[in-house]
Amino acid sequence: MPRMDINRSAEMEVFVRAVDLGGFSAAASEFGMTPSAVSKLVARLEARLSARLLNRSTRRLELTPEGKAFYDRAVRILAEITEAEREASAGAAPRGHLRVNSNIPFGRLHLLPLLPAFLAAYPGITLDLVLTDTVVDLMRERADVAIRVGPLRDSGLIARKIGTSRLSVVASPAYLARHGTPLSIEDLPRHRGIGWTFQRMRTTWPFKGGVWAAPPTQARASDGETARALAVGGVGLARLGLFHVSEDIEAGRLIPVLEGLNPGDEEDLHAVYMGQGGPLPARVRAFIDFLAERVRL
């Protein structure tokens, strides 16, 4: 049974303030305690955690590695408590202005249809939405949330996975009628491909057996929606996420090819946001939770 007489948030608050103020005496003065009481509180905390959190000297307090980890987590927890109390006192309804950045395919096909229901559920939230396949700097663009497709860069952002989509090589019926349907990797040099204007790690496509290949590039696109439109228009073969082209496949505007050689690789979709150093605003949490619950790829 957990001990109910331990006020862990109060312990965290005293510990954090002692570190912030540089000593037990300053923290004691702020909380109306004696320095001895603060010292005993920290000692009890260390005993319960079985870890030394502070190296004490007559001049200052110095965090141990364990103490630094506990301090960082405690700061976040206390900020979350403050945010929860603020939300409760305001009626717990998320409100404020939300800035969202999404790649064009996901925004057009999956995000836009969900926004009316989201805004109806949270009338206190106003929204700016920017659709672009350019990877934006959230801080520079003042965006709260961005939707990213594929591998994430090590940017220090927090990411929450909202879906996964397989990739497939596709072409229009008109293109296949003119150029034939590729049946093997050896057929690709005789075909035309749709590439990208931006730099990618690989310009070829993966196939089973660890083979990478692609047809000669006929046209390049700056974003996924342009590549899809070129493929639908019969320009060439394109390799795109099924989350993007599933409607075209169902409607017969695009046809998957070389599926027997498809390695089955997938790309993840994440909602990324800045979350270090403070509580996640309720409007941001509400939006990400809404997407995670409703996005179906």
| Beta-sheet pairing, 158-171 with 61-63 | unpaired
CA-closest candidate to residue 46, choices 78, 81, 2, 14: 14
Spatial separation of the C-alpha atoms in residues 273 and 241, rounded to whole Å = 23
183 and 131 in a single domain? The answer is: no
Number of domains present in the structure of the chain: 3
121 and 186 in a single domain? The answer is: no
Residue count of the chain: 297
Tokens 């996901």 sit on residue:
106
CA-closest candidate to residue 98, choices 275, 282, 295, 293: 282
Q: What is the pLDDT of residue 203?
A: 84
Radius of gyration of the chain from Cα atoms?
27
Kindly report, residue by residue over 66-116, the tens digit of the pLDDT.
999 999 888 888 877 776 766 665 555 788 889 898 888 888 889 999 999
Can you give the CATH number for the domain in which 148 is found? Answer: 3.40.190.10
78 and 209 in a single domain? The answer is: no
275 and 142 in a single domain? The answer is: yes
Bridge partners (DSSP) of residue 270 are 148, 161
241 part of a folded domain: yes
154 and 33 in a single domain? The answer is: no
Q: What is the pLDDT of residue 255?
A: 98
- Which regions of the chain are under pLDDT 50? 1-5
* 47 SS3 class: helix
Q: What is the pLDDT of residue 5?
A: 45
Do the beta carbons of residue 124 and residue 282 sit within 8 Å? no
159 and 272 in a single domain? The answer is: yes
3 part of a folded domain: no
What pTM was estimated for this model as a whole?
A: 0.60
Q: What is the pLDDT of residue 157?
A: 76
b/e map 34-67, b = 16+ CB within 10 Å: eeeebbebbeebbeeeeeebbeeeeeebebeeeb
Domain, as residue range, for 26: 8-89
Spatial separation of the C-alpha atoms in residues 241 and 258, rounded to whole Å = 15
80 part of a folded domain: yes
Q: What is the pLDDT of residue 93?
A: 75
185 and 134 in a single domain? The answer is: no
